[in-house]
């Protein structure tokens, strides 16, 4: 088994696997080092592709929409390689209005968004008959991120240029690009890709402090499917999945604690009930928590380190890693080939917002 490759990818979540596949597509050899950790985000997420609803700064917005529109071809290519059909929903996302914010929501709706009055909303989604209207963000939607992760793992395992190694990474050396593992010794790459999610900031040997921390999100799945559209509102969101619905999510500064809590589950039940009264008694199928890899300004960190160009960041994906990762990997594939990737400019590790912005508050709800 070889310990040297063109690209050494640290972390096997959505960021690591999509980057590994993008590198292999460019005929680079890849080793992916990963050990499953409780709270790893990619399977725990809700899978929404919501650039229209999420707060994304102006200089990153076009990338966010490109990332959303990257998905159809991306899942199509995955299906051809793996036979796995990853469910992709592009029906649009509803943003519910209340009596107090309906006018403001209608006025602030982005270009391309459609205002639905209460009658139109009820025709589209009878379960929302009590709401004061909604904005429909066409083309936003969701992907089943669990099936997506299955497909990415299968694609990586079928790719001769990629070797996946189960190993815990202890230290990273950006100068002599390599990583030391607990039981398997040292692995080397011409380039290193740091894609270790919420744990990205914790390695000795990085050339700079990396402002990434875990932010816990709890989710609940209920055994009813009252709506067809992914919906933001009532202090959280609903994501239809098969004949169930995901209710999300808390946003908590709880360190690396990755269990659900009674308080978190009660908050989720409230969101569900405020959105659709009939969900008050719906049985809980499942509940879990994940750790968002939250960067200081809540946006991804991408591109090579300006002081240590062998080190490439694919981390800090925060609340929108399912949305951004496949697009980001495609861009990072260029970086790994030494080609320019100007679209990554707003995401660089040395952007001022990573040095200066304040931390967001604790226990709220978000994606």
Ligand X SMILES: Cc1cc2nc3c(=O)[nH]c(=O)nc-3n(C[C@H](O)[C@H](O)[C@H](O)COP(=O)(O)OP(=O)(O)OC[C@H]3O[C@@H](n4cnc5c(N)ncnc54)[C@H](O)[C@@H]3O)c2cc1C
Site for ligand X, rule CB under 6 A:
11-16, 33-37, 40-42, 44-48, 168-169, 195-199, 217, 219, 248-249, 290-293, 315, 317-323, 367
Task: Give the nearest distance from C-beta 120 to ligand X in angstroms.
Answer: 26
| 128 versus 187: smaller Cβ distance to ligand X | 187
CA dist., res. 45 & res. 291, Å (int):
9
| 50 and 367 Cβ atoms separated by less than 8 Å | yes
Task: Give the nearest distance from C-beta 200 to ligand X in angstroms.
Answer: 7
| 102 versus 354: smaller Cβ distance to ligand X | 354
Task: Give the nearest distance from C-beta 44 to ligand X in angstroms.
Answer: 5
Task: Give the nearest distance from C-beta 237 to ligand X in angstroms.
Answer: 8
Residues with Cβ within 8 Å of 113's Cβ and at least 6 positions away in sequence, in order, are: 52, 135, 136, 137, 138
| 102 versus 162: smaller Cβ distance to ligand X | 162
| 82 versus 196: smaller Cβ distance to ligand X | 196
| 102 versus 249: smaller Cβ distance to ligand X | 249
| 123 versus 363: smaller Cβ distance to ligand X | 363
Task: Give the nearest distance from C-beta 111 to ligand X in angstroms.
Answer: 22
Residues with Cβ within 8 Å of 136's Cβ and at least 6 positions away in sequence, in order, are: 92, 93, 94, 95, 113, 114, 116, 124, 229
Task: Give the nearest distance from C-beta 263 to ligand X in angstroms.
Answer: 16
51-59: list long-range contacts, CB under 8 Å, 24+ apart. Answer: 51/140, 51/320, 51/323, 52/93, 52/110, 52/112, 52/113, 52/137, 52/140, 53/93, 53/95, 53/137, 53/140, 53/232, 54/319, 54/320, 54/323, 54/367, 56/299, 56/320, 57/299, 57/346, 57/353, 59/346
């Amino acid at each position: 088994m070889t310990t040297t490759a063109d690209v050494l990818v640290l972390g096997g979540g959505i960021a690591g696997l999509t980057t590994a596949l993008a590198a292999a597509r460019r005929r680079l050899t890849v080793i992916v080092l990963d050990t499953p950790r409780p709270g790893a985000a990619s399977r725990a997420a809700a899978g929404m592709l919501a650039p229209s609803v999420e707060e994304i700064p102006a200089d990153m917005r076009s990338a966010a929409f490109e990332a959303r529109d990257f998905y159809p071809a991306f899942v199509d290519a995955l299906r051809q390689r793996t036979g796995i059909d990853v469910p992709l929903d592009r029906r649009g996302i509803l943003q519910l209005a209340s009596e107090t914010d309906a006018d403001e929501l209608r006025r602030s709706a982005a270009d391309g968004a459609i205002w639905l009055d209460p009658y139109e909303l009820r025709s589209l989604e009878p379960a929302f008959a009590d709401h004061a209207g909604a904005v429909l963000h066409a083309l936003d939607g969701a992907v089943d991120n669990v099936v997506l992760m299955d497909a990415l793992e299968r694609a990586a395992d079928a790719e001769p240029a990629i070797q996946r190694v189960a190993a815990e990474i202890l230290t990273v050396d950006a100068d002599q690009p390599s990583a030391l593992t607990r039981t398997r010794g040292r692995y080397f790459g011409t380039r290193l890709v740091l894609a270790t999610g919420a744990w990205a900031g914790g390695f000795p040997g990085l050339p700079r402090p990396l402002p990434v921390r875990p932010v816990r999100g709890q989710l609940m799945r209920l055994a009813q499917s009252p709506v067809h559209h992914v919906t933001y509102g009532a202090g959280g969101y609903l994501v239809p999945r098969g004949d169930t619905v995901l209710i999300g999510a808390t946003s908590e500064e709880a360190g690396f604690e990755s269990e659900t809590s009674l308080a978190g589950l009660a908050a989720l039940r409230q969101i569900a009930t405020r959105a659709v009264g009939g969900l008050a008694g719906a049985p809980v199928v499942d509940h879990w928590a994940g750790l968002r890899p939250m960067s200081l300004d809540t946006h991804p960190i991408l591109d090579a380190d300006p002081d240590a160009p062998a080190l490439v960041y694919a981390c800090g994906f925060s609340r929108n890693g399912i949305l951004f990762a496949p697009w980001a990997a495609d861009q990072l594939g260029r970086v790994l080939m030494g080609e320019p990737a100007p679209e990554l400019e707003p995401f660089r590790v040395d952007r001022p917002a990573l040095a200066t912005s304040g931390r967001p508050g604790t226990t709220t709800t978000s994606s």
